[in-house]
Chain A
Amino acid sequence: MELWFTEKHTENVHFSIRVEKQLCSVQSEFQRIDVFDSTEFGRFLTLDGLVMITEKDEFIYHDMIVHIPMATNPKIKNVLVIGAGDGGTIRELTRYQSIEQIDVAEIDEMVVTVCREHLPKTASRFSDPRVVLHFEDGLRYVRSKTEQYDLIIVDSTDPFGPGEGLFTKEFYGNCFKALRDDGILVNQHESPYYKDDVMSMKRAHQRIQSFFPNCRVYQAHIPTYPSGHWLFGFASKKYDPIKDLDADLWNSLGIKTKYYNTELHKGCFALPTYVNELLENTDDE
């Protein structure tokens, strides 16, 4: 018997992982949640049939969404994470002793319940006393906050379905308002490769740029995401992620990582030419 999980990366491209066993399949108020075991990628979580994390490559995503802003401003104390029900981003954040509070706005409590049961590798630090879980719409949560956070991490699903509101102009504007003067916004920024992802990516970039003076995009290689080439957005009212990197300070913290290092930090902002061109021409979206 062969059992395969297949995700449509586009109408014409399939990505399949051979499955050993399905561990969980539930329908929440917002989405379908599945967990599988596989030989190649270990245990993995899908939402509405799209791969969110696998045990084998989640470190890349979580390293890059957390350590880039933290190395740029190691004084960060108050963090808001939007989404992140799998817990990986929270796990990385809790490694910083200097962080005082981590608010998490996750719309779907069932994702957290499922991950706590089946994905202990990422969902290991929800019980950290600094973590406060808010099960509500991220757009709603951030609306009432003003100059309260040093860092907002948008660890969202794709811009179709429950995560739709997290790619909108009103969301980025409300994030700007919720950040302090030296605040940083980091978001998962979709991919520059397939056409539909490109549209989402360009729109997100254009919208973030309309609020933040410093906007940069960086990349990572994530094998299980469409095209494997994934982008993140870095936006700040004050910091430049390269000029303001304090490599010595970060290295002195002794945080051991598998993907991130301070040399990669500088390098990941160097983008392929076609990606630079896409980001320069966002007006047509």
Chain B
Amino acid sequence: MKTLMQENAPLYEALIKYKTKRVVPFDVPGHKQGRGNPELTEFLGKSCLNVDVNSMKPLDNLCHPVSVIREAEELAADAFNAQNAFFMVNGTSSSVQAMIMSACKQGDKIIMPRNVHRSAINALIISGAIPVYVNPGLNKELGIPLGMSIDDVKQAILQNPDAKAILVNNPTYYGICSNIKEIVRIAHEAGIMVLTDEAHGTHFYFGENLPLSAMQAGADMSAVSMHKTGGSLTQSSLLLLGKNVNPDYVRQIINLTQTTSASYLLMSSLDISRRNLALNGKEIFEKVTRFAEYTRREINKIGGFYAFSKELINTDTVFDFDVTKLSVHTREIGLAGIEVYDILRDDYGIQIEFGDIGNILAIISVGDRSLDLERLISSLSEIKRLYAQDPSGIFDHEYITPEIVSSPQKAFYSNKKSVPINSAKDAVSTEFVMCYPPGIPILAPGERITEEILTYIAFAKEKGCSLTGTEDLKIEKINIIDGNV
């Protein structure tokens, strides 16, 4: 058998070969290499439609990979220093869900910080696992949730020795990392699996002087969003496994919910991006780091804005910081992050990743150009000149400690009734409320609706945050548990 190198891209190579064979398609998809849908072909390009194909012997099958997909996954595992890697085609949400469902059965406990992405709590609704929340640290000045403190993790394990897994964000959306190595050590000592949400950490595996990656730290599983900072197509993702996890069982779990018609566009983008990162990742993220550091320095020169970085490190709840993240605190100029986000888009034609109450986040990546960074910096300087106001009107609280009344699954499937959100005080929610992005729930199923939460939701709404989660698309009504819990 031939030895595969990181210079190879087996799935991509197989698709190129398939194209040259000019196979006559009497299978799905029905657009038949684009001929059946000229408008779509004109829009997306013929070379794209040509490889939008179905599984077939020469192209392998994602549900049961034995040839080129398997090889591509093996190369990905090598590149990421993992024992196994799975190509995922339903976003990193599906990777997070596969991790949790592989580690926990109905009624099993999983320790996690409350500032997880909604996909993690969705996995609890599906699997029936019970969350044990560790309050993340909070930076009061910035209003952002931090990582988990080691003492809190120890305490949670002590109180829940039967927990099956612990979930760690590596890093958070804002770039903050917990002491993952120590968490792995403590958890493994207690026989608990470590799962990591590395949706924002693909680059940790390739860049230098970046925080420790989950696989390097000895974690058991990791969900990696290749499409976020790794350059692959939106919705493509990787699930990585460490050495003590049974990959065949994980594949069965993935196949419970995964499509049987995985997109070759997504999969080939993973293969090509993995090759690029393995060969050029060091230089790519050196440039990204340089760009981010420059932009941060320039933004901090403007005054009023605070583009924070490694000075937040406190050896515990901020164990490390990902310098490629450009998070900017905006409250001192009297504008909510979401307001700056809206002004940048509407007045300056600049789309950033998200704005929350006190901060904005811009993603800096391999695709950026110096002149675009100058535009972002200059626009922020103009926004300060034209819009700065007294900051006292800005809500100064981000993290609210939840009161958990019932497990997410039990709450979600309980008898419920719909009530106007403002009259729901003290009731137990059966659904989510969150700003999207970042997609971290303000309220999750099974949690008590408090005055503080209602105030927060009203403020976020007023400032123009895009709220999601409830059955009612207008977020005017909320489903609550009907009767006793």
The answer to whether A and B assemble together is yes
Interface residue ranges, A against B (CB under 8 Å): 137, 139-140, 143-144, 162, 164-165, 168-171, 173-174, 177
Residue of A nearest to B381 (CB): A143
Is A165 a contact partner of B375 (Cβ separation < 8 A)? yes
Is A169 a contact partner of B382 (Cβ separation < 8 A)? yes
Is A162 a contact partner of B371 (Cβ separation < 8 A)? yes
> For B386, what are the chain A residues with a Cβ–Cβ distance below 8 Å?
173
| A-contacting residues, B274-303, CB 8 Å | 298, 301
Is A171 a contact partner of B378 (Cβ separation < 8 A)? yes
Is A174 a contact partner of B382 (Cβ separation < 8 A)? yes
What secondary structure prevails in chain B residues at the interface with A?
A: helix
> For A171, what are the chain B residues with a Cβ–Cβ distance below 8 Å?
378
Partner of A140, one of B347, B348, B374, B382: B374
Is A170 a contact partner of B371 (Cβ separation < 8 A)? no
Count of chain B residues near A, Cβ 8 A: 16
Is A170 a contact partner of B385 (Cβ separation < 8 A)? no
Q: What are 18 inter-chain pairs, A to B, with CB distance below 8 A?
A: A139-B374, A139-B375, A140-B374, A164-B371, A165-B371, A165-B374, A165-B378, A168-B348, A168-B349, A168-B375, A169-B349, A169-B379, A169-B382, A170-B348, A170-B382, A173-B382, A173-B385, A173-B386
Instruction: Give the distance to chain A from B413, nearest Cβ to Cβ, in Å.
Output: 51
Cα–Cα distance between A165 and B385 once the two chains are bound (Å): 19
Is A137 a contact partner of B371 (Cβ separation < 8 A)? yes
4 closest Cβ pairs, A-B complex = A170-B378, A170-B379, A173-B382, A139-B374
Q: Is B370 positioned at the interface, with any CB of A under 8 Å from its CB?
A: yes
Is A139 a contact partner of B385 (Cβ separation < 8 A)? no
Cα–Cα distance between A144 and B377 once the two chains are bound (Å): 11
Instruction: Give the distance to chain B from A68, nearest Cβ to Cβ, in Å.
Output: 27
| A-contacting residues, B355-398, CB 8 Å | 370-371, 374-375, 377-379, 381-382, 385-386
Interface residue ranges, B against A (CB under 8 Å): 298, 301, 347-349, 370-371, 374-375, 377-379, 381-382, 385-386
Residue of B nearest to A166 (CB): B371
> For B298, what are the chain A residues with a Cβ–Cβ distance below 8 Å?
140
> For A162, what are the chain B residues with a Cβ–Cβ distance below 8 Å?
371
Instruction: Give the distance to chain A from B234, nearest Cβ to Cβ, in Å.
Output: 25
Residue from B301, B349, B382 with most neighbouring chain A CB atoms (10 Å): B382
Is B348 a contact partner of A169 (Cβ separation < 8 A)? yes
Residue from A139, A162, A171 with most neighbouring chain B CB atoms (10 Å): A139
> For B301, what are the chain A residues with a Cβ–Cβ distance below 8 Å?
144
> For B349, what are the chain A residues with a Cβ–Cβ distance below 8 Å?
168-169
Instruction: Give the distance to chain B from A195, nearest Cβ to Cβ, in Å.
Output: 20
Cα–Cα distance between A173 and B377 once the two chains are bound (Å): 13
Instruction: Give the distance to chain B from A142, nearest Cβ to Cβ, in Å.
Output: 8
> For A174, what are the chain B residues with a Cβ–Cβ distance below 8 Å?
378, 381-382
Residue of A nearest to B301 (CB): A144
> For A139, what are the chain B residues with a Cβ–Cβ distance below 8 Å?
371, 374-375, 378
Instruction: Give the distance to chain B from A175, nearest Cβ to Cβ, in Å.
Output: 11
Cα–Cα distance between A162 and B370 once the two chains are bound (Å): 10
Instruction: Give the distance to chain A from B409, nearest Cβ to Cβ, in Å.
Output: 49
Instruction: Give the distance to chain B from A170, nearest Cβ to Cβ, in Å.
Output: 4
> For B347, what are the chain A residues with a Cβ–Cβ distance below 8 Å?
169
Instruction: Give the distance to chain A from B368, nearest Cβ to Cβ, in Å.
Output: 13
Instruction: Give the distance to chain A from B69, nearest Cβ to Cβ, in Å.
Output: 40
Cα–Cα distance between A26 and B385 once the two chains are bound (Å): 40
Given contacts A139-B371, A168-B378, A174-B378, 6 further A-B contacts (CB under 8 A): A164-B371, A168-B348, A168-B349, A170-B381, A174-B382, A177-B385
Residue of B nearest to A146 (CB): B385
Cα–Cα distance between A173 and B378 once the two chains are bound (Å): 9
> For A173, what are the chain B residues with a Cβ–Cβ distance below 8 Å?
382, 385-386
Cα–Cα distance between A171 and B386 once the two chains are bound (Å): 13
